[in-house]
Chain A
């Protein structure tokens, strides 16, 4: 009993230890050892880790496949940019402004998650997946039609559905500043995201998700994932718990989006398209569904590696695709898994008892 509890605690603490250690190492390395190209990867990696954790909450914990999580990132990113740009005069401190932008961006993304959740969570399985995909594309298109500017009278927003309007339709005063220019996206954004902010965000999100999973609500959500009918028969309000998890997931993805949006001086809505949603899903699945540490590690490796391999630009995505297929077959095919398991056992036998080998096989299975 005692050991069991200890191992549980250890499991919960591992992600924190890894993230803190990585942060310390990278902070030391960033004083001269890492080049500019590597430094530029730090914040986006943090964003993708947070987004992957959010999607892991939706796919791994809630058990619903979402193909539109980039849409929530998109909402977060653009709301964050608008917030940050319009508050640049009133809050000069970039740290505080980033914090405010993240909160507001996350709230808007959560609101989007709620509105989308109403129709989406009534559906099941692949139908749910296609509808989240549809919403992701709709969000992208809607943001592409937005033209937003700010002057001393406040925000000016026009919706450019016909493609004929421009910045002048905002009717801003002389000192007005355009924030989002339709298809060109947000331009001239002050980049205020920092690696420290990314690190803090990962820690906070880890804390939120781990507490959520171990809470009463989280257990209810997992019960619904494992057996919807039994959970319903036990008196759980299915829609409510699904909605809580979905909205939380959307909000966290939105926060990741804010950090991402404020890391670049210009960003377009098509950055957050279907392919980005898929990219995050790949991180989550390869990291292991519901496995928080796995998600963090998989995201880091899978995001940083292709960027590092830019020298082999022609072949890197081809190799990435092949690795993806091979890994999926190796981890999901019974025969291949037994074969790999056999190799591991043979190695292990040299220096361990049979019991350990059995444990290893059971772990692999």
Chain B
């Protein structure tokens, strides 16, 4: 029973990682860049929903919608202002720019909302007791897992069946050829950022509901771990991000419960290293052979 409750909390944490990892993996797939600012978009999502609920007194649903909206606009703005001028630049230049954006968001948040942590009012509260009170599961975990699965299925359908999704896949395969086929590459990349950031906003609300402290650096560690999850599953692959996120969450939760709280992050990272040793492109990553 104890194991089961740890497993469920791991699954719920993993779902949040998966949602964040989706943003990383989609952007990487299409723009071939590591968007380090993604973690901070989560934090912005958290703050926007917090302000909407606590200061403006809006209902939770509206607050979530507002967070999604703000983050989507923010994602598109970041892409247009900072990353678009660097389409031709080396990946390292883009990486440093992404780090600059990440610093910017963290410090802007600190100026606006202060450096002190605020305690977030969870969107959903309460627990469900099963098996005669032996198994207590918080509702937010269940909602998180369900939300993640629903979003995953929608996203997978969107990418495999939808017109924009197909354009995204075409751009990630070959930008030049996609452009020749009449696909607007710049617009497609903007849409990718918009979707990734919208998911980050949802992840921010869910993360803050599960761990109710919010401060300007809240997003960075989950961001790094979600990035690890994306690499774990094979960066560029949507189902890979899902599997990677879930596995990471479960490993972290079980490690915290049975081995050591202090070493939980280390063990997560060690598992990543071992996986990459045996499958250098992650679990579901595609191996691209080099041509001479």
The yes or no verdict on A and B being binding partners is: yes
Chain A residues close to B by CB (< 8 Å): 59, 65, 119, 122-124, 126-127, 129-131, 133-135, 137-138, 141-142, 144-145, 160-163, 229, 274, 278, 281-282, 285-286, 289, 314-315, 317-318, 320-322, 324-325, 328-329, 331-336
Asked if B111 contacts A123 (CB within 8 A), the reply is no
B144 CB to nearest A CB, Å: 25
Nearest A residue to B105 via CB reads A321
B53-109: which residues lie under 8 A (CB-CB) from chain A? 82, 85-86, 88-93, 95-97, 99-101, 103-104, 106-108
CA distance A126 to B110 in the complex (A): 30
Please, which residues of chain B bring their CB within 8 A of the CB of A59? 92
Partner of A285, one of B92, B235, B260: B92
Number of B interface residues in the complex (CB < 8 A): 48
Asked if B269 contacts A321 (CB within 8 A), the reply is no
Please, which residues of chain A bring their CB within 8 A of the CB of B270? 134, 138
Asked if B263 contacts A135 (CB within 8 A), the reply is no
CA distance A285 to B261 in the complex (A): 36
Asked if A130 contacts B228 (CB within 8 A), the reply is yes
Contacts A131-B272, A321-B101 given; does A332 touch B86 at CB 8 Å: yes
B108-141: which residues lie under 8 A (CB-CB) from chain A? 108, 110-111
CA distance A234 to B32 in the complex (A): 30
CA distance A318 to B103 in the complex (A): 7
CA distance A328 to B34 in the complex (A): 15
Asked if B96 contacts A229 (CB within 8 A), the reply is no
Asked if B88 contacts A138 (CB within 8 A), the reply is no
Number of A-B contacts (CB under 8 A): 130
Asked if A123 contacts B276 (CB within 8 A), the reply is yes
Asked if A137 contacts B260 (CB within 8 A), the reply is no
CA distance A144 to B265 in the complex (A): 12
CA distance A331 to B97 in the complex (A): 11
B161 CB to nearest A CB, Å: 29
B97 CB to nearest A CB, Å: 4
Partner of A321, one of B85, B103, B235: B103
Asked if A324 contacts B97 (CB within 8 A), the reply is yes
Asked if B262 contacts A141 (CB within 8 A), the reply is yes
CA distance A130 to B233 in the complex (A): 13
A114 CB to nearest B CB, Å: 15
Partner of B224, one of A122, A126, A274, A317: A274
Name A's interface SS: helix
Asked if B99 contacts A324 (CB within 8 A), the reply is yes
Does B266 lie at the interface of the complex (its beta carbon under 8 Å from any beta carbon of A)? yes
- 27 residue pairs bridging A and B, Cβ less than 8 Å apart: A122-B277, A124-B280, A126-B91, A127-B231, A127-B282, A130-B227, A131-B273, A133-B224, A134-B269, A137-B224, A137-B269, A141-B263, A141-B265, A162-B260, A163-B260, A163-B261, A229-B290, A274-B220, A286-B96, A318-B104, A321-B104, A324-B97, A324-B99, A325-B100, A328-B97, A333-B88, A333-B89
Nearest 9 A/B pairs, CB to CB: A324-B100, A134-B269, A332-B89, A321-B104, A321-B103, A325-B100, A141-B266, A318-B107, A333-B85
Does B292 lie at the interface of the complex (its beta carbon under 8 Å from any beta carbon of A)? yes
B249-282: which residues lie under 8 A (CB-CB) from chain A? 259-263, 265-266, 269-270, 272-273, 276-277, 280-282
A49 CB to nearest B CB, Å: 19
Contacts A329-B85, A333-B85 given; does A130 touch B111 at CB 8 Å: no
Nearest B residue to A278 via CB reads B99
Contacts A321-B100, A322-B104 given; does A130 touch B272 at CB 8 Å: yes
Contacts A122-B277, A163-B261, A325-B101 given; does A138 touch B34 at CB 8 Å: no
CA distance A119 to B235 in the complex (A): 19
Asked if A328 contacts B104 (CB within 8 A), the reply is no
CA distance A281 to B36 in the complex (A): 14
Please, which residues of chain A bring their CB within 8 A of the CB of B259? 161
B244 CB to nearest A CB, Å: 12
Asked if A119 contacts B277 (CB within 8 A), the reply is yes
B227 CB to nearest A CB, Å: 7
B48 CB to nearest A CB, Å: 19
CA distance A127 to B96 in the complex (A): 17
Nearest A residue to B268 via CB reads A134
CA distance A314 to B220 in the complex (A): 20
B87 CB to nearest A CB, Å: 9
Asked if B266 contacts A142 (CB within 8 A), the reply is yes
Nearest B residue to A323 via CB reads B100
CA distance A161 to B258 in the complex (A): 12
CA distance A333 to B97 in the complex (A): 12
CA distance A317 to B104 in the complex (A): 8
Asked if A315 contacts B96 (CB within 8 A), the reply is no
Please, which residues of chain B bring their CB within 8 A of the CB of A135? 269, 273
Asked if A229 contacts B292 (CB within 8 A), the reply is yes
B86 CB to nearest A CB, Å: 5
Please, which residues of chain B bring their CB within 8 A of the CB of A161? 259-260, 262-263
CA distance A325 to B105 in the complex (A): 12
CA distance A1 to B108 in the complex (A): 54
B110 CB to nearest A CB, Å: 8
Please, which residues of chain B bring their CB within 8 A of the CB of A162? 260, 262
Contacts A163-B260, A289-B92, A333-B86 given; does A315 touch B266 at CB 8 Å: no
Asked if B34 contacts A126 (CB within 8 A), the reply is yes
